[in-house]
Structure 1
Amino acid sequence: MSDSRAGGRIECLDGLRGLAALWVLVGHAHILTGFKVPVIGDPELGVDLFIMLSGFLMVFHYQRRRGREPWEATSTWVTFWVRRYFRIAPLYYVMLVAALTLGPFIYDARMVIDAFNGVPPQLASRYLDSSLSNYLAHFSFLFGVSRSYSFRTALPDWSIGLEMQFYAALPFIMLIVGRVGWIKGITGVAALGALAAYLSHRIGYTFVMPTFLPLKMHVFAAGMLLAGALWTNERRAYLFAGFAGYLVIAPLGGEMDWLHQITRIVLVLTFFALIHTARLPSAAAKMARPVSEWLGNRFFHNLGELSFGAYLVHLLIMQPVIAYLIGAVDVSAPVRWALTLLITVPIVYALAWVGYNFIEMPGQNIGKELTKPRASA
């Protein structure tokens, strides 16, 4: 792990990002085709993995840059926010316009799907609201804290609003951690999040999806702890992992049955094992290290790079495909699910590749250029 702290690459992160996006895609295919399979058929758990990864990655980079970008400096905060904005916003804005433009078409497909599956139909406002206020709420990323706009496009962008709230809060969280330490700091942040979630619920300010940061702060915090553990001794690293496992089963922001809770704990322990292989017992390390390295190969690196685009675009492609299959072929739910993936996955990742190369990368380069240190005159 010393290489990682010094600036080396943690091999498994690309693969975990890629698999998280694929998990969400496969999970939505399960739900929309009526093919019910536990765990792998639940996109919520894939999103939780994404959230944990986000908490980890933000702290990992924050820690590595601390020498040249002190946590206390407001310039560090501005640099961080600019980088993250240009990482997320360019592709998101393009996909947002596409989703709101295609809203009526996607809505018609969803009505076919919901009727076929015998479930209550989606609200028309989620797909058909192309008002200026909806555009402004989403372009400003304020939609995540609004009950009216947090779930009002055909994109799965409720988690994007959540992510942007986390970015806004992170510099202040790191200040707290820097002053009082990891355990006290994360305990305080998680407790404040839980209190805010409780008070929000008590006053009736509730959300269709857990798009309000306090509802998922504990999952971000779990990932943050696993990153912070890289800069601790072995004993404290295991303490951080145990605390992270405890955090993810807090009864907030998602399904709380035993299967979901066990899966969340398994995600934490697996994540810890893959990024802290040097601290595992030798027998466990021999099993974990090859997996970690495998998840860092070229295929998984590319899968991870395309994860954001695939996450954003997949429902725009999948819902019309499933609606077409419902009308065109009479097959069982598992076959419909398999056909859906066979058609959807190549299209989604082809579009994600285009978005990555022609929108994401240029956007990231703008962010890097804007935050590049300038030579003094």
Structure 2
Amino acid sequence: MAIRRVECLDGLRGLAALWVLIGHMMILTGFRLPLVSKPDLGVDLFILLSGFLMVFQYQLRAGSEDWSAPGTWTAFWTRRFFRLAPLFYVTLAAALIAGPAIYESRVAIDTFLGQALQPHERYTDASLANIAAHLSFVFGLLPDYAFRTALPDWSLGLEMQFYALFPFLVLLARRIGWMPMALVAAAGGVVVALLAGAAGLDWPMPSFLALKLQLFLCGMLIAADPGEGRGRSWMHLGLALLLAAIPIGGEQDLLHFAVRELLVLGFFALVHLRSLGVVDGVSRLLGSRPFHWLGELSYGTYLIHLLILQPVAAAVIGHFGTGLGAAGRFVLTGAVVVPVTYALAFVTYKLVELPGQKLGKAVIRRATGNAVRSRQTVPEELAAP
């Protein structure tokens, strides 16, 4: 590839996590602003970035890894497991232990705001089946377990399904090309999603890969080397815009359609149109040190925030009641939740995430019998919550 580092990835990951955090704060305090109060769109941005990052790193390693060899797939899956699992397991334990107390907080919030109560089992199910489904990351495939903890972890199950499929998408793209692969995969996803719906399967969140595969494919197309000729990059963009418009997986109103299209357009511009002064300036800003750290803490922020947010929002409501308006509840809740969440994200980044990634590299070295030297030039981060 012509580019060796994509500066904007750091900032975009960080902004996606912040979008999810602020959106959930709005939902749980009754304060609303257009667009920002839609945290699912922040998750869509994560998904787009994840598809991009996996292909980007694949192409950086293309000269040193044989993707026709199953050992390469195993190394890929190992890297991704140790990127997601360590912090997820820590926060999962916290969510299971604190689940009943967090559920009481959520009941107080929803009762006060006149919102439908959440199913109690989402917060209180500490059964072996639920724990096993989450430890193995298969919960996203199972409608009964896909949304069954106090964490926003449904997207992690989705992410793991994408990682499982990714080597096969790469092999297909190597055989027939990136655009034909994207068309075949998207069509297959739609068919599987429709068949699942016809069979009566209903996921409380779009945690089943067939419901969101098209957005992963959009990111993959933006990253994929178009070959000779700049025009093929624009063809990749055109196909990505078409795929992003597929009306399955999550809310499908006009706002969500328009924002998903804008996310694809904007990200394409940041990657491929750096020659434009404004775009270059935005990309540099998103790659600056503050945004770099915002991105580094994005995974922890995503996983941790609801564990802090729900008890704090309930406490604010319990103390002030109707004496404090929605905007006041939002500001006061955020004044506590935001610094605490990012502080915990920083601590767990240092104590859990980085050691987990180091352990993953050690496992790969031990399995291959070589001191594998990473040639990647961007952090191997989760681009999806």
Provide the identity percentage.
Answer: 52
Matched, 1:31 2:27: yes
5 Å matches for 1:1-377?
2=2, 4=3, 8-229=4-225, 233-278=229-274, 285-329=276-320, 330-372=323-365, 374-375=369-370
Q: Deviations over 1:232-290 (max 9, x none)?
A: 63211111112111111111111111111111111111101111124xxx5xx111001
Question: 1:164 corresponds to which letter in structure 2?
Answer: M
Return the offset for 1:36: 2.1
Return the offset for 1:229: 4.4
Question: 2:357 corresponds to which letter in structure 1?
Answer: Q
Question: 1:346 corresponds to which letter in structure 2?
Answer: P
Return the offset for 1:117: 1.1
C-alpha distance in structure 1 between counterparts of 2:160 and 2:8, whole Å? 24
CA RMSD of aligned residues (A): 1.3
DSSP-derived class of the 1:27 partner = helix
Q: Residue 319 and residue 343 in structure 1: after superposition, are their counterparts in 2 closer, same or farther (change >3 A)?
A: same
Q: Deviations over 1:77-111 (max 9, x none)?
A: 00000000000000000000000000011000000
Q: Contact conserved, 2:226 with 2:236, CA < 8 A, in 1?
A: no
The aligned length equals: 367
Q: Contact conserved, 1:229 with 1:240, CA < 8 A, in 2?
A: no
C-alpha distance in structure 1 between counterparts of 2:63 and 2:205, whole Å? 38
Q: Deviations over 1:187-214 (max 9, x none)?
A: 0001000100000001101100000000
Return the offset for 1:152: 0.5
C-alpha distance in structure 1 between counterparts of 2:228 and 2:92, whole Å? 41
C-alpha distance in structure 2 between counterparts of 1:238 and 1:355, whole Å? 40
TM-score, reference length from structure 1: 0.95
Return the offset for 1:375: 4.4
TM-score, reference length from structure 2: 0.93
C-alpha distance in structure 2 between counterparts of 1:22 and 1:57, whole Å? 19
Return the offset for 1:369: 1.7
DSSP-derived class of the 2:86 partner = helix
Q: Contact conserved, 2:226 with 2:232, CA < 8 A, in 1?
A: no
Q: Contact conserved, 1:229 with 1:236, CA < 8 A, in 2?
A: no
C-alpha distance in structure 2 between counterparts of 1:232 and 1:320, whole Å? 55
C-alpha distance in structure 1 between counterparts of 2:134 and 2:351, whole Å? 22
